[in-house]
Structure 1
């Protein structure tokens, strides 16, 4: 009987032990919106089933995070740990109510815990007020890689079809290049082709005379070797007369005069808009034909054997073939360049459509301040008393004493200035420390005005200034001046709207200033300024 009671007592105590829930919270006092971490623990055997609550609120506190259950094995038992993140956005004292934990289907309640939510003190005089941020863009789960892939595929397909079109055009049979045996054959053939066109009958008299005289000029240039195509009418006639004497050509004055009449008539048609009658046009055509024939007959004959004639024909055919190949090669090169440029243009237009022009400009054309933001930053100390600040580049020592008035220099014991860029560039950083010969109490508002007057003397105009108190992370108080100005570059003849921020700190025997300037519309310059000014720390005059 005693043994049975002992077994019953053991099972009862085990059951009671297994159904205990331990409750704890990491802090009992917190700020509005901060997280209270509630922890529930239960110790059960390996066969027990435990279910923790999944509520959205525990009393007046909101569940913002339900953490995973941690399991710790201890021999034949398990310790299950469940944590919840709770918060409240109104100040006051609250109670985390008792919550049920189901163990083998039976509820076991946790303990209730009192917590306190406190207000956050906000000093609007010291803290700068910021505008509401723009709506953040949510990235697609698939990303944007597929957009670029589609653009590249479209460009590749367009390039392929363009290339095939050009290749097909080049492979099409072209009219065979006619190789003339002699200049007279070429001239007579072109005159026959000109008559077939019937240009002057269609009213294209100017075009007709232009081709007619070009045939004559080209024949004289090839046959007699004088620059007929580039000469005026008078120059051509004078050159023809001289060549006739030098080469002993049997040309009568009548032949030369007939040729001159046609050339002068053509000049009147082309430049004075004269319209000859039909019979005059017929006469001019006959004069050209007869002049060409007479000139040909006046040239002393040179007997050439058949071999030399055949060789000359082969040379002419080879020259025509090489010229054709050269032209095809030039067309392929130009077409390839055009396709590549077209593909690049389509790609850039696609990026502009999906990403915007600023994205293309910053990532492909380059952006100086973007490179500074993404580069390796340097945290260093400058001057005495030291100014510790993080900058995108190491600041170099500069001589700024020449920009100060003489009466101000008389008060200064030591001045050190470090900078990057210049006032006339789109981005400028300057850090300056000054120690005075005598301790003085400085009005930082007036000091800021004097600092901006020095900048005005260097080319700044239309300065708009606002001031407010500024505290470093370690609680050193100073003054902040910020606003916009127009910087005039007289050498380049341009003006730039700039945004500036100046920090000024006064100590018993010194002044420490930090300046950063960038274009008003430069978002990367703004990022640099925020990161720099948030990193500023100072060495006090006593250090």
Structure 2
């Protein structure tokens, strides 16, 4: 019985450990300084249908997760190797244990190995370490960008355009009545109707109501009877009206003139003595003004003239009014557009004179590589052996197996390629790493450079000029750099384009690391991007 139990326990333990073998746990170093990063790596090998979930963690044991790296996927035939990395740190010295991390594979839990790490104090020896003064404050980079300046300029120009439109419309409004109304009585009648629609006195604006009411009457008398009614006092107006009625042989009753005088005096009291007539008085005053205007108009002797305009019917008259209004509206729009265009041209001319045409073109019309340069850059690690590099955008994994010859693919054990853009674009960035099946201490970089350039030629590069020089990263990893120019036929325009390229190659651990950039020659923004990208290259020196 004991033998059976022992056998059963042995089988269970074997199954358990076999199950745990699906996860491989490693760490880049077991001893680090305070605040430095431990990079915990968890690998799992699964088939293409498996679902793997790595947890999102803020802490693993006593260590803080300062960065959760993207999952790297490596395809091996019909299986995938998933690689997940966590950046850990601790700000207190001591020895710590990194506990197991639970990984769900097809809804089943699997656990990584626990590891021991040590965090050491940073020893500062003032006798050996030179002391320096405190540095000045470093200005923070402007991450907001200049987009708000362009938005403000658009708002200001639109505001000026709206102001010009409003001003022109207001000026035209003063003249439109004279053009629309053919006679003073027609104008006065329409203005009285418009005044009633405003409902000023019903809203408590009695002073405004009486002011407009008497202005309509005064304006009619000045235009129809030709006396200076708008500039006269009430007494002067009534005296002038009596004299004009005699001169023009107008049949005007004493009652009509007295009613008009009474309303004008009532208006004076409202405007200057703050008098407030009641509702029925306001209605009576309005009726008196209307009746006085009609009576005066009927009393004016009229010479009958047969004109072509008097034969127009009402429909034709309204049509003419609409045509006039449309012309006025089109004129306002034309003046507004012309003003805005003038402002744009003046502003553009100023910036061209002070900043240059290229500056205006790139900042107003936009420039693709300028926008790329001013975007939020990211720093990531790609491939195996890893290449740490800073780029304007995250590089996307691509498959280059079809572009390589079959005899070349037979020598490759593992290949990872990541890119931004395509070989047909005017800016292209490629990061690739290769591991070969045959173990070798070094790869012939010059031969690899020739192969890479030949591959570029096979994709359309012509008239290639090649220069080479040694290149060394800040970590001391040496390689070679190829650079120069080539031409390419633009399939859309069938014209040739001249491009500038840079190619870096490194050989480590029997593999090859490659970084390639090309862009339009003379593109200053692309030159800045290339320089920043290549200056950021970090390669971990692989121990031999």
Question: Do both share a fold (TM > 0.5)?
Answer: no
Q: TM-score, normalised by structure 1?
A: 0.44
Larger Rg: 1
